[in-house]
């Protein structure tokens, strides 16, 4: 199947079903956990700058909140679907449970392209989203955050709209806010750094010298950028970066055999993670096909863009040198590709463990907002590394003990924790 033929929600359910069978969950629990508890579909009419009104489709899914308020980002994307949001809310439940923070899984989306909208139009859309969801979100029920093509300014507009309607201050109702306006230091770096914290933990467990490794990264948005920065700081060499070019509507791979200079690439990228091709060429980068990142002769692949990027169709393209895949994106590997990667002996750090640094730091932001006391950046990052390393170690040890694939081991821990909370509440 082509990448576009895969349905994220069906993938998420297939992954769940496999582990539910292994755990021998009863039928009621399986049915309850394999779908969202609640979801909303609504529309947002927005007055555009030219005087016309455009209506945007919007979604919010709450998969499970047995362990705490739902938590999950808000995606702005022209191809966003209800099934994408359902899947992502499900993965958020497992993500929060894997790193053992007291939150459940939620997710939101608006079918839009902010790259083609003015700031005023984006603000009106953000405020409309909150008006449509006011009774469903809040610090003790469902807490949104930034995701693909949404940012801290969008979150602040949403917070302001919520507080205007509520007539009081509720800084913990949304995370990913600007620092100084309820945001946490370290949140910008958190997801990307979390990816490398798990890689560091694996390297320490297996006595791998990361300074002697090479990597290829897909994506150059927030997650990929900070994963690349930290990996480079640890001495690793990034041979290529692949990212989407909105103007050409296609992806390109930017390659330097002796290693990419990440600060240099950051200086020539836009706010959506697209690298300027003309400037990159002047800096000596080779610009090749967008899928070339997957075929590079490297030790580590870090997919940090969108889902369904590694499939049975292209697993054979992965170099025999690759030994580790760190899933910085959500759902970058399809369920039918996992057995092929496992057979090849590629070590997988699965998405809802690998990229859980973002939601972990969002939890820290909530805690700081609720007590109105903010930590310095190093304290945040120290707490983040501790949480990510602890979670990785638990999954890795279970995988070795039970001879499980890492994704399955992470699911076993997460599903057991959520199922236990559901049982204790008497829901099932």
Q: How far is CA 87 from CA 2, 10, 351, 415, in A?
A: 19, 8, 13, 15
Torsion of CA 309, 310, 315, 321, to 10 degrees: 100
Q: What is the DSSP string of 21-50?
A: HHHT--HHHHHHHTS-SEEEEEEEEEE-TT
- β pairing state of 70-77 and 142-146: parallel
Residue 54 falls in the annotated catalytic set: no
In three-state secondary structure terms, 69 is coil
In three-state secondary structure terms, 55 is strand
Q: How far is CA 82 from CA 2, 78, 143, in A?
A: 20, 12, 19
Report the half-sphere exposure of 300 (CA within 13 A, side-chain side).
29
d(CA 258, CA 239): 7
Compute φ and ψ for 59, nearest 5 degrees. -140, 155
Residue 212, number of CB atoms within 10 A of its CB: 10
In three-state secondary structure terms, 53 is strand
CB 143 within 8 A of CB 178: no
Candidate list 18, 38, 95, 107, residue with the active-site label: 107
Best CA proximity match to 392, nearest among 364, 420, 362, 352: 352
Best CA proximity match to 68, nearest among 102, 96, 95: 102
Q: What is the DSSP string of 5-21?
A: G--HHHHHHHHHHHHHH
CB 75 within 8 A of CB 126: no
d(CA 108, CA 106): 7
Best CA proximity match to 98, nearest among 25, 173, 19: 19
Q: What is the DSSP string of 107-125?
A: EEEEE--GGGS-HHHHHHH
In three-state secondary structure terms, 319 is coil
Q: Which residues pair with 45 in a beta bridge?
A: 55
Q: Any idea which residues carry the catalytic annotation?
A: 107
């Amino acid at each position: 199947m082509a990448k576009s033929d895969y349905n994220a929600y069906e993938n998420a359910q297939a992954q769940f079903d496999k582990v539910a069978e292994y755990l021998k969950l009863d039928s009621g629990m399986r049915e309850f956990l394999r779908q969202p508890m609640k979801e909303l579909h609504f529309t947002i009419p927005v007055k555009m700058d030219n005087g016309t009104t455009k209506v945007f489709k919007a979604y919010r899914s709450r998969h499970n909140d047995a362990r705490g308020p739902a938590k999950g980002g808000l995606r702005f994307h022209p191809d966003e679907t209800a099934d994408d949001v359902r899947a992502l809310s499900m993965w958020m439940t497992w993500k929060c449970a894997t790193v053992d923070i007291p939150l459940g899984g939620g997710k939101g989306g608006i079918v839009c392209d902010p790259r083609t909208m003015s700031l005023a139009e984006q603000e009106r859309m953000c405020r409309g989203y909150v008006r449509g969801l006011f009774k469903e979100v809040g610090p003790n029920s469902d807490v949104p955050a930034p995701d693909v093509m949404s940012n801290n300014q969008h979150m602040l507009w949403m917070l302001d709209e919520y507080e205007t309607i509520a007539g009081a201050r509720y800084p913990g109702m949304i995370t990913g806010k600007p620092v100084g306006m309820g945001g946490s230091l370290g949140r910008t770096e958190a997801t990307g750094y979390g990816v490398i914290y798990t890689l560091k933990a694996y390297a320490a467990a297996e006595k791998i010298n990361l300074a002697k490794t090479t990597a290829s990264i897909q994506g150059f948005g927030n997650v990929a950028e900070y994963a690349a920065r930290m990996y480079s700081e640890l001495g690793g060499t990034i041979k290529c970066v692949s990212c989407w070019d909105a103007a050409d509507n296609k992806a390109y791979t930017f390659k330097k055999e002796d290693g990419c200079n990440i600060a240099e690439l950051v200086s020539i990228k836009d706010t959506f993670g697209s690298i300027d091709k003309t400037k990159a060429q002047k800096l000596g980068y080779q610009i090749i096909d967008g899928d070339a990142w997957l075929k590079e002769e490297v030790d580590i692949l870090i997919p940090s863009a969108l889902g369904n990027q590694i499939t049975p169709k292209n697993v054979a393209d992965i170099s025999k040198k690759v030994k580790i895949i760190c899933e910085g994106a959500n759902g970058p590997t399809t369920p039918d590709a996992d057995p092929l990667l496992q057979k090849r002996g590629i070590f997988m750090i699965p998405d809802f463990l690998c990229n859980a640094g973002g939601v972990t730091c969002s939890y820290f932001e909530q805690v700081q907002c609720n007590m109105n006391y903010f930590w310095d950046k190093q304290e945040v990052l120290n707490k983040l590394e501790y949480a990510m390393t602890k979670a990785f170690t638990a999954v890795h040890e279970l995988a070795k003990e039970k001879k499980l694939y890492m994704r399955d081991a992470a699911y076993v821990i997460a599903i057991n924790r959520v199922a236990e909370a559901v049982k204790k509440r008497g829901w099932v």
